[in-house]
Structure 1
Amino acid sequence: MNIGDAAKVSGVSVKMIRHYEAIGLLPAATRTESGYRVYRPEDVHALRFIRNARDLGFPLAEIEELLGLWRDRARASAEVKRLALAHVAAIDEKLKALQAMGDTLRELAASCHGDHRPDCPILKGISGARTLAPMRNDGGAHPAERLRHASITRAPPR
């Protein structure tokens, strides 16, 4: 099938299929005499695998490793499990960061009057201004400090 058909069937955009070929994640497609790419059913299956792994948030380096394990019928499942659990740990860290971000924004919003006055603790907190209490009563970090440390990375689009 051609690249457009492979994209439709696999759910991976044409642009990303080309990208995966360029970085070696997907073998280069065979070409017709006129230069059009031709994809085999196993190529489309690999594209679905890549899409599903991306949907689970795996970075490309780990997807490459998973693809190698998937293609190796003599593999030990222990390595696959190790990769999956390491990814779960990374997801858990991101969840903690997101929770901290939500807590910080809720605290900043609670300190804002939300009226006609220009004074805004939310903007001050985001800017890093130390106008709020330097420490919370429970010993937690200043909201602006938590905001700085609660950033997460986003997976690139597939």
Structure 2
Amino acid sequence: MTAQFSIGDLARETATNVRTIRYYETVGLLPPPRRTPGNQRVYGEAQRKRLAFIRHARDMGFSMEAIRELLRLASAGPDTPCADADAIARRQLDAVRGRIARLQSLQAELERMTEAHCHTIGECRVIEVLADSSHAHCLDPSHGRDGEAGAHIDFA
């Protein structure tokens, strides 16, 4: 007899929220499960493996559309060329590298902002940098838009 899972069991097996499983069904990433006479969802091992694949891909940051394409490629057969899957993974790698570069820039900026030890808000480097909408005080002005500079800002 093949393994059968309720939606709760499937959720536990794959560390996926029940609502997320239902969502994946709604958007077509998971095929609709078989139903019992009492209308309970029943999943098999193939659906567990598919959900684990989806979950792993989501953990790696792949978009839903990329996952949909990877699932299509995975179902195409073992002799199907891998070039399209490689291209999808390369795009994801490029996106991750871009996020890492932005985070490293943010880290450097925050480190620089917090180096100065001041005693009053009037001389506070954090407030000065954040209040300067022109980003002239920033190491990397590309994270903002052009605007007016000003170390004092009145929020009232």
TM-score by length of 1: 0.79
How many pairs does the alignment contain? 139
Give the whole-Å Cα distance in 1 for the aligned partners of 2:127 and 2:19. Answer: 39
In structure 2, the residue matched to 1:102 is 107
In structure 2, the residue matched to 1:65 is 69
- 1:4 matched to 2:28? The reply is no
- 1:31 matched to 2:69? The reply is no
In structure 1, the residue matched to 2:80 is 75
Match of 2:57, SS state, is: helix
Match of 1:122, SS state, is: helix
What is the aligned-residue RMSD (CA, Å)? 2.0
Q: Point out which structure has higher relative CO (alpha carbons under 8 A, 6+ apart).
A: 1
Identity level (%): 29
Q: For structure 1, list consecutive stretches of 5 or more residues without a partner in the other structure.
A: 136-141, 150-158
Change (3 A) 1:33 1:114: farther
Kindly provide the amino acid, as one letter, of the partner of residue 64 in structure 1.
R
Change (3 A) 1:101 1:69: same
Match of 2:144, SS state, is: helix
Match of 1:38, SS state, is: strand
Higher mean C-alpha displacement, 43-52 vs 101-110: 101-110
Kindly provide the amino acid, as one letter, of the partner of residue 78 in structure 1.
A
Shift of 1:34: 1.2
Which of these two proteins has the greater Rg computed from alpha carbons?
2
Give the whole-Å Cα distance in 1 for the aligned partners of 2:131 and 2:36. Answer: 57
Shift of 1:124: 2.7
TM-score by length of 2: 0.80
Q: For structure 2, list consecutive stretches of 5 or more residues without a partner in the other structure.
A: 146-156
In structure 2, the residue matched to 1:155 is none
Of the candidates 81, 85, 95, which is equivalent to residue 90 of structure 1?
95
Change (3 A) 1:126 1:95: same
Shift of 1:128: 3.0
